[in-house]
Structure 1
Amino acid sequence: MSKAIIEVKQITKHFKAKAVVDQVDFKVYEGEIFGLIGPNGAGKSTLLKMIGGLIFPSSGEISLFNTKMRGNHAYFERMGLLIEEPGIFPHYSAYKNLDLMAISYGLTDRKKYINELLNLVGLGDVDRIKVKNFSMGMKQRLGIAIALIGSPDVLILDEPINGLDPQGISEIRKLIQELNKKGITIIISSHILEELSKVATRYVILNHGKVVENISKKELFLQFEERVELEVEELKQAIPILERHLNIQKYKVMNEHSIYIYDNHVKNQQIIKILTENGIVIHSLTKHKQSLEDYFLKRTGSGGESHD
């Protein structure tokens, strides 16, 4: 596994008496697309601001590149941030917006660098048009270009597809994947698990400021595969029988009595017949399939709070 370049330990953030982020733990590994998913008000933006050094936690610890953060550390400069709305000047062109930011970074040979960034985010042919005439998707891509100035190791994107039409969502998704292929570690938040599932490699589900799930893409997609949920008296005896007689290979043992079977070629009646013939007592057998939305709602409920 790649090394962890961001580690969040027991991070809490209070606004007045309210804990908006509450004892959060997770790691982000080099080269991954890390998905932070949660309903509006779950605390996603607040958490990303703390990771990016824009605000500081009330308690807990953040380590960047294996170094504990204390105040305005230089490691924060190795991250590019697009949190909430991009900070752009609407009456300037995309080129001018990037040029102003490049000047603040003290970059030389800015023209070549800016044109490369514009081409990277798909704005090379509109670099002279005023940003006020951009679509929402174009503004988001410009915001990402601004976050990329300084060649960050980590890119933090807060709800980058929020408010976009299907074409805009597709363009941002492709851009995120392209940037990741270039070696940039990406943290992306969303309240839409269906869309985030198309790009992220690992997920933390946040609700009411707390982590309710930390799960890999492989583990997540197992939740949505059609499966048979089987509970028997003697699971250790049942598994070899299922493997030998029904060629069941794709399964997950849940506890000493329960197993999830993902082999779609096997019928329920076949499972019942072979286990009964071999003296295995069956307590229950059900077919199960859930959507991404069902899974998300089951873990987060129906809504969030006023802060995010």
Structure 2
Amino acid sequence: MSDILIQVNQLTKTYNNKNSVSDANFSIRKGDIFGLIGKNGAGKSTLLKMIAGFIHPTAGDIRLFNHDVDSNHTYFERIGVLIEQPGLYPYYSGYRNLELIAISYGLKDKETHINKVLSQVGLEKDKDVKVKNYSMGMKQRLGIALALLGNPDILILDESINGLDPEGIVDIRHLIMELNKSGMTIIIASHILEELSKIATRYAVINQGEILEILSRDELLETCEERIELEVDDIKQVLPVLEQYLDVQTYKVMDSKSVHIFDTHVEVQQVIKLLSKNELSIHSITKHKQSLEQYFLERTGVESVGVSND
């Protein structure tokens, strides 16, 4: 059986003759924490609403759990969703909010289900407190608890750390990672790449409704990692010298003439001096250092991007 839980093909949504999402193509595998990164208004929420079955695509199709789906298909029931702000009753307790949803779902043994999700999100001690007295972080956790009722296979979260203080951000991050460890596949959309980089395993960058690229966590961090990029005549001659005299251990050979050196103790001038001393020619050598914020700015062409304080 395929481990692909979601397959999106040429997915498009048009409002007033303008595409909010254009020809989106990607897949999400079982166990992924899939980060959808884009500025506000990039099309993240629209894309997630189509995947969740909340709105109809203008074109394209979605496969869930290796099956084609339509707007009324039961496979949507295996997805828990928190898009934008959770709809909470402020004068009811956290438990009562969950109970109302459990009743609407027709869950059997609803008390067991409610206590389970309260424990998962760390609100079991505050279940009888009225929601109007919850902090922003507690409300977000209760919203996630609502999405977890019914034991979904996939959890969709949209801007789940917006407005949270650093402690609240850490709490939500730990919660997401614990849910993923339990086997849940998670899609999380945000405009804060720095925060997503701490939890997501794969990323899709979206801008003006278009998916610009999809990459793994390793590919993202490698792109943004500090390194020396060195081009020479023959890399096989150079590497032994670098290893012996500069203790270069962490590197990636790009081709027969170039290598990326990731050892942070090595400086450009050291490499130049060493290779010159050994009569080894250098075609080019540069120091590359790109932050996650710079990477996002280059891909989307926006003027600013949110950065976590944590």
TM-score (norm 2): 0.90
Q: Indicate if the aligned counterparts of 1:242 and 1:271 stay in contact, CA closer than 8 A.
A: no
User: What residue is the counterpart of 2:143 in the other structure?
Assistant: 143
Separation in structure 2 between the aligned mates of residue 272 and residue 183 of structure 1, nearest angstrom: 49
Partner of 1:71: 71
How much has 1:144 moved relative to structure 2?
0.4
Q: Is the 8 A contact 2:205 2:211 kept in 1?
A: yes
| SS in structure 2 at match of 1:125 | helix
Q: What is the letter of the counterpart of residue 84 of structure 2? A: E
Tell me what 2:308 maps to.
Answer: none
Range with bigger deviation, 217-226 or 280-289: 280-289
1:200 paired with 2:196, answer: no
- In the alignment, what sits opposite 1:182? 182
Are 1:245 and 2:241 counterparts? yes
| Deviation of the 1:63 alpha carbon | 0.9
Q: Give 5+ residue unaligned stretches, structure 1.
A: none
Aligned equivalents of 1:265, 1:90: Cα separation in 2: 54
- Root mean square deviation of aligned Cα: 2.0
After TM superposition, the structure 1 stretch with the greater mean CA deviation from structure 2, 2-11 or 278-287, is 278-287
Q: Distance in 1 between matches of 2:212 and 2:256?
A: 24
Q: Which runs of 4+ in 1 moved over 6 A?
A: none
Aligned-pair distance for 1:224? 2.8
Q: How many residues align structurally?
A: 299
Task: Report the equivalent of 1:264.
Answer: 264
1:264, distance to aligned residue in structure 2 (A): 3.1
Offset at residue 277 of structure 1 (A): 6.4
Structure-1 residue corresponding to 2:54: 54
In structure 1, the partner of 2:119 is: 119
**Partners of 1:132 and 1:242 in 2: how far apart?**
65
8 Å contact from structure 1 (residues 40, 303) kept in 2: no
CA–CA separation in structure 1 for the residues paired with 2:56 and 2:227 = 44
1:255/1:26 CA distance change after superposition, 3 Å: farther
Structure 1 position 275, deviation (Å): 4.8
Contact in 2 for aligned 1:98/1:146 (Cα 8 Å): yes
Give the residue type in structure 1 aligned to 2:137: G
Equivalent AA in structure 1 for residue 294 of structure 2: D
- After superposition, the C-alpha distances for 1:112-166 in whole angstroms (9 at most, x for unaligned) are 3212221221111111121122111111111100100110000000010001111
Of stretches 273-282 and 27-36 in structure 1, the one that deviates more from structure 2 is 273-282
- Alpha carbons of structure 1 residues 256 and 44: separation in structure 2 relative to 1, 3 Å: farther
1:242 maps to a residue whose letter is V
Give the Å deviation of 1:64: 0.8
C-alpha displacement of 1:254:
5.0
Q: Deviations over 1:200-258 (max 9, x none)?
A: 111111111111221111111112322112234x4xx2x21232221245334556765
User: Aligned equivalents of 2:90 and 2:210: distance in 1?
Assistant: 37
Q: Which residue of 1 aligns with 2:13?
A: 13
State the distance in 1 between where 2:239 and 2:200 align.
Answer: 33
CA contact (8 A) 2:250 2:263 kept: yes
Shift of 1:61: 1.7
Deviations 1:79-116 (A, max 9, x none): 00000111221221111111111111111222232122
Q: Which residue of structure 1 lines up, in the alignment, with residue 161 of structure 2?
A: 161
In the alignment, the residues of structure 2 paired with residue 25 and residue 188 of structure 1 have an alpha-carbon distance, to the nearest angstrom, of: 17
Matches within 5 A, 1:88-103: 88-103=88-103
Q: What is the percentage of aligned positions where both structures have the same residue?
A: 59
SS in 2 for 1:164: coil
Instruction: Give distance in 2, aligned partners of 1:263 and 1:171.
Output: 33
Looking at structure 2, the residues matched to 79 and 267 of structure 1 have their Cα atoms a distance apart, in angstroms, of 50
**Whole-angstrom CA distance in 2 between matches of 1:260 and 1:269:** 15
Q: For the structure 1 residues 274 and 45, does the alpha-carbon distance in structure 2 shift closer, same or farther, using more than 3 Å as the test?
A: same
Q: Distance in 1 between matches of 2:224 and 2:187?
A: 23
Q: Is the Cα–Cα contact under 8 Å of residues 37 and 192 in structure 1 kept in the other structure?
A: yes
Q: TM-score, normalised by structure 1?
A: 0.90
